[in-house]
Structure 1
Amino acid sequence: MTETDVRPAAPLAVVILAAGQGTRMKSDKHKVLHPIAGRPMLLHLMSSVDALGAARKVVVVGSGRNQLEAAVGGEAALAVQDPQLGTGHAVQQAEAALAGFEGDVLILYGDVPFVRPETLRAMLERLHAADEPAVVVLGFEPDDALQYGRVLAHDDGRIAKMVEFKDATDQERACTLCNSGLMAVRSDDLFPLLARVGNGNAQGEYYLVDIVNIANSEGRACAVVTTDDPDEVAGINSRAELAEAEARWQRRRRLGAMAEGASLVAPETVWFAWDTELGRDVTIEPNVVFGPGVKIGDGVTIKAFSHLAGATLAHGAEAGPFARLRPGAVLEEGAKVGNFVEVKAATLGKGAKASHLTYLGDAEIGAGANIGAGTITCNYDGYFKYRTIIGERAFIGSNSALIAPVRIGADAIVAAGSAVSRDVADGELRMVRAEQLVKPGWADRFHDAMKKKKAERKAQP
């Protein structure tokens, strides 16, 4: 079975906490909207949630509500936490959005974007185990426990106590099992437990973890599920942590690409987007960057220092070095663009090539066509965009300007240095150049005169 074939045992709702100020980011952009691999971290998390088939999603926000509304696009309800009185108080703000819901609730964090669907499933499965724990907590064991809250648990995973670092004793701080903050709770338990949480602690806040201690005090079991990958629950609170998260994501994606049959000549220099698709036997040379929306077919070669975004390359196509493929660029089978070629909203047909120093925008280039160095499609008049159509096997000479809208016929030839503003018929030669002026001996006389003048100036005192 695939991940999407499996469903939780009960209807699922997800509460994502994103009300933090994000002051360490030093940014006008909401913290959870900072991108990793070209995708906001919040949307990475929501993708994992979508794999579980959640019936309801609620994002708890503080400042930056308008930004989050635009980002989630109606895929989740928003609840506002104002003032911000702690994590327990934040979850309480989702109560109205979950009115009438009966099922399981996952509590997640918008700045912890890479928790895996299988980890979330493990939490939900533990929630429905025979001992029916009231709360399931996701724990982890980092190399350095730092100031994370601690999970004091028995050998069977039942939780004895949850404690925040600032409230922990030295003995409790010696525990290495840490609280990620992620929890699974039944809806009919969650809000009654939250209603009993107080703020008598070092921070004067309403801690979400206290629902575990309250449930324990009532004689109910609570349990911890431990992830084997601490990076999965690493929070992102600063630009430095964002860069570290990007590096971790890229490292895993590179290894995945190579495991799936792509050759990366210098893996550490290749940067993927979250949705990059690679075929088999793809070769990627050093210093290649993929923006979102790139699809690479089998046997494609991307040469060094190329940048691709929103582009599609079919079997055996080739790009670079120093190529830029922008959104809407399509290279069909065996097509080639070389060094310092830019393609935007243009299709190169089977076997077509533009080997160097060319701009092709809003164009359709037929199979087998050859685009000479320095060719540009003049597609914009300052107000509107226009298309250029180049027929199969056409030959466009170097340093030509094709002034759109214009159509170049099949097997036509445009002579080098031409500025073409009218259609060219199939098989036609079009030469658009000014008449050449010839003055025999003029250059010799010019050189003689200038040499004489220079000598006279040197002779002057």
Structure 2
Amino acid sequence: MTQTFAVVLAAGKGTRMQSELPKVLHHVCGKPMVQHVIEQLQDMAVERILTVVGHKAEMIEKQLGSSSEYACQAEQLGTAHAVKMCQTKLEEEQGSTLILTGDTPLITEQTLRKCLDHHHRANAAATILTMVPEDPSGYGRIVRDKRGQVARIVEHKDAAEEQLQIQEVNSGIFCFDNTLLFQALEQVSTDNKQQEYYLPDVIEILKRMGETISAFPAEDTEECFGINDRTQLAQAEEICQRRIMEHHRRRDVVITDPSSTLIEAGVAIGRHTIIEPRTRLRGHTQIGEGCKIGPDVDLIDYKAADHTHVHHSSSNDDSHAEPYVH
């Protein structure tokens, strides 16, 4: 079976976040963005995960620990340059390499796996996860030839007026044949308005080499959204929270008032539990089966046994925990 590797780009400062914290360490539903990404890759059983760090690298490495290997991009010269920092670690590997950014916390294992499967079926040198957002501003456009095949990606700032009318865009997530990836990276130049080494330029280089380029359209555009500012962070939080509640409902958890309830990503809730209004479950809180939690509860890293009723309580005050029988 073909081996799979992953490169997570996490070296940027994220200046639009207006924060001293590296962008990828901002939380979505109680977990840093980059942690969401790494965990999806772990669920895929990727053989090796490399995270490219730069700005405040030590903070990211502390967060991720041994869940990733690391490559350092001391000077941010573009996405192709970032991937090239992994060359000494990956260039001898045979297989497929997923490349994604650490600011896409909504991406799922299922979509990554489907993209990878499509890449293998197409016998492609490169596969782009594409999307058609309501507003394509800022995204690289997918330029296709007369046969409908992907020819290249044109970054928004470099696009001509007619290219800006293209609705299909690059999500920033790719799958490459690992050997061909590092061969093509040697040919990437800075001949663009940003004078950076663009990873999407690898697509056109591989095309010129006669290699097959494929595209896999994302079924859910929300998954591909990158987070660049506080507004987008809040939107991601809302989407992620909705997913978390849907997940628990599918496990027979009753959430009586979703609008006043917060459940973070690391929380586990047993079946047939009822979550009452104004409940906040955070950190690594574990709720057993058949419980009643709330109203007016705020729990962090709390453990509730099966058939427990916790109400009007916080993590530092469990005096309101009592047996609960349906």
Same fold? TM cut 0.5: yes
Give the drift of 1:188.
Answer: 0.8
Alpha-carbon spacing, 1:93–1:299, altered in 2? closer, same or farther (3 Å): same
What percent identity do the matched residue pairs reach? 31
1:325 to 298, 303, 315: 315
Output one character per residue of 1:91-123: Cα deviation in whole Å (capped at 9) or x when no partner.
111111224322111111001122111211222
Matched residue, 2:77:
85
Counterpart of 2:60 (choices 64, 68, 80) is: 68
Report what 1:231 is aligned to. 222
- Displacement of 1:142 after TM fit? 0.7
**1:69 CA displacement:** 1.5
Deviations 1:72-107 (A, max 9, x none): 112222211132111111111111122432211111
- 1:151 corresponds to 2:142: yes
Per the alignment, residue 201 of structure 2 pairs with: 210
Aligned runs of 1:187-336 on 2, under 5 Å? Answer: 187-321=178-312, 323-326=313-316
| Distance in 2, Cα, partners of 1:18 & 1:237 | 13
Partner SS state of residue 74, structure 1: helix
Give CA-to-partner distance per residue, 1:413-434, whole Å, 9 cap, x none: xxxxxxxxxxxxxxxxxxxxxx
Aligned to 2:115: 123
- What SS does the corresponding residue of 2:162 show, helix, strand or coil? helix
Q: What displacement does 1:280 show?
A: 2.5
Counterpart amino acid of 1:239? Answer: R
Matched position secondary structure for 2:271: coil
Cα distance per residue 1:177-229 (max 9 Å; x no partner): 11011111111101110110111111111110011111112222201101111
CA displacement, residues 272-325 of structure 1 (integer Å, 9 cap, x when unaligned): 11122222322212111111222222221112221112222223211112x013
| Contact 1:251/1:268 (8 A) holds in 2 | no
- Partner SS state of residue 170, structure 1: coil
Are positions 1:28 and 2:20 aligned together?
yes
**One-letter code of the match for 1:190?**
L
User: 2:10 matched to which residue of 1?
Assistant: 18
Tell me which of the two structures has the higher relative contact order, counting C-alpha pairs closer than 8 angstroms and 6 or more residues apart.
2
Equivalent position amino acid for 1:17 in 2: L
Quote the RMSD (CA, aligned, Å): 2.0
The higher radius of gyration belongs to 1
Whole-angstrom distance in 1 between the partners of 2:232 and 2:160: 28
Which sections of structure 1, spanning at least 5 residues, go unmatched?
A: 1-8, 327-341, 344-353, 357-364, 368-461
Give 5+ residue unaligned stretches, structure 2. none
Amino acid at match of 1:307: D
Deviates more, 1:63-72 or 1:254-263: 254-263
Matches of 1:324 and 1:212, distance apart in 2: 53
**What is the match of residue 40 of structure 1?**
32
Between 1:253-262 and 1:298-307, the stretch displaced more is 253-262
Q: 1:35 to 1:156 in 2, by over 3 A?
A: farther
Question: Does the C-alpha gap of structure 1 residues 77 and 315 become closer, same or farther in structure 2, counting only changes over 3 Å?
Answer: closer
Give the secondary structure class of the aligned counterpart of 1:96.
helix
Q: 3-state DSSP class of the match of 2:143?
A: strand
Deviations 1:300-354 (A, max 9, x none): 1112221112222223211112x0135xxxxxxxxxxxxxxx03xxxxxxxxxx4
Distance (whole Å) between structure 2 residues aligned to residue 176 and residue 98 of structure 1? 34
Match of 1:121, SS state, is helix
Matches within 5 A, 1:323-362: 323-326=313-316, 342-343=317-318, 354-355=319-320
